[in-house]
Homo-oligomer: A and B are copies of this chain.
């Protein structure tokens, strides 16, 4: 059996996860695709089709791996990384190598296969976020892990292989350089200006207003100034905190409300496009933040919604830059309902 690995080369500085088990056959180089429809492994009643659950929100008398749940978390059947084993980081000549240790879980957001996240009631969406929080709290106890990232692929253009509403969680033994870059820029901003970059972006967006889509008690929903994708949206919490797990039940309810609104508006304006949902929270162990007091953080968790209309092409792959055909000010007008298509 070939084990998964992390690899990095010094030219690209990108950690790549090699996950050979995601191939079905040696000559099949596309990742394994799960079947939808009657073979939906995530639907209530089909619990036997998934690995054993690691967490669920369930009716009081129901048993694990049986019906009676609202949200259910299982290990990914085709994991990019493996939870068992020793974490070893070694040089390989010029290159860098790490054993492919990590968690790769699937958060099944609803027992029903025929309903989209945004069509669930707000309390049900809040339960999904509460599940994210519980899984992070559990996995962060494992000292092999440095960073937890939760994301969602919806539709083929966004890389989804199954229609049943679900998110994925990865717990990684490293902090990707891309994430380190965001942290470093936020820290630098704080050191120079003595203000959080996240506060400054919120202040700018709320003052300017042209890219603002909505807000509620806890959050601001806006199209970022340098949106990489048409109709990209960010959700920033008004109470900044590095860690998503700091959210209170009330804050998770507000988050569910504003995400539901954002996705419903996206569907209305663009006829249910594929999208990625990206939850960015601070790495698990951060020595640098100790110097700041607990009310003044240099980094904040945040949520991004990236609608996906086109394949990323040679321009994006090779330059790390993006071509976007829609200004965020125009997207925001559509999303606010002020422009008609």
- Cα distance A94–B11 when bound, in Å? 31
Q: Which single member of B26, B198, B208, B326 contacts A93 (CB below 8 Å)?
A: B208
Contact yes or no, A315 B178, CB < 8 A: no
Which residues of the partner chain B approach A318 to less than 8 Å between Cβ atoms?
Answer: 149, 151, 276, 278, 280, 304
Q: Does A137 contact B (CB under 8 A)?
A: no
What 0/1 pattern do residues 160 to 197 of A give for CB contact below 8 A with B?
A: 10000000101000001111011001100100000001
Q: Does A8 contact B (CB under 8 A)?
A: yes
Residue of B nearest to A234 (CB): B11
Q: How far is the CB of A310 from chain B (nearest CB, A)?
A: 6
What 0/1 pattern do residues 139 to 166 of A give for CB contact below 8 A with B?
A: 0000000000101110011111000000
Contact yes or no, B8 A341, CB < 8 A: no
Contact yes or no, A178 B14, CB < 8 A: no
Q: How far is the CB of A14 from chain B (nearest CB, A)?
A: 6
- Contact A158:B14 (CB < 8 A) given known A9-B225, A22-B323, A29-B325: no
Q: Does A72 contact B (CB under 8 A)?
A: no
Contact yes or no, B27 A319, CB < 8 A: no
- Contact A277:B179 (CB < 8 A) given known A29-B230, A321-B16: no
Q: A16-B226, A16-B323, A30-B309 are in contact. List 16 more A-B contacts (CB 8 A).
A: A9-B225, A11-B198, A13-B181, A15-B226, A16-B227, A17-B322, A18-B325, A18-B326, A20-B330, A29-B325, A94-B204, A95-B204, A276-B313, A278-B314, A306-B317, A308-B311
Contact yes or no, A29 B306, CB < 8 A: no
- Cα distance A225–B30 when bound, in Å? 19
Which residues of the partner chain B approach A204 to less than 8 Å between Cβ atoms?
Answer: 93-95
Residue of B nearest to A304 (CB): B318
* CB contact list, A232-251 vs B, under 8 A: none
Q: Does A206 contact B (CB under 8 A)?
A: no
Contact yes or no, A189 B14, CB < 8 A: no
Q: Does A286 contact B (CB under 8 A)?
A: no
Q: Does A10 contact B (CB under 8 A)?
A: yes
27 pairs of residues in contact across A and B, judged by CB atoms under 8 Å: A8-B226, A9-B224, A10-B185, A10-B189, A10-B197, A11-B201, A12-B226, A13-B185, A14-B322, A16-B226, A16-B321, A19-B324, A20-B330, A27-B341, A29-B325, A30-B325, A94-B200, A151-B317, A153-B314, A157-B311, A158-B313, A159-B312, A168-B315, A276-B318, A278-B317, A304-B318, A306-B314
Contact yes or no, A310 B16, CB < 8 A: no
- Contact A327:B18 (CB < 8 A) given known A93-B204, A159-B311: yes
Q: Which single member of B270, B310, B320 contacts A14 (CB below 8 Å)?
A: B320
Residue of B nearest to A203 (CB): B94
Contact yes or no, B227 A310, CB < 8 A: no
Which residues of the partner chain B approach A74 to less than 8 Å between Cβ atoms?
Answer: none
Contact yes or no, B185 A322, CB < 8 A: no
Q: Does A37 contact B (CB under 8 A)?
A: no
Contact yes or no, B314 A228, CB < 8 A: no
Contact yes or no, A319 B178, CB < 8 A: yes
Contact yes or no, A225 B306, CB < 8 A: no
- Cα distance A227–B11 when bound, in Å? 11
Contact yes or no, A276 B185, CB < 8 A: no
- Cα distance A17–B156 when bound, in Å? 25
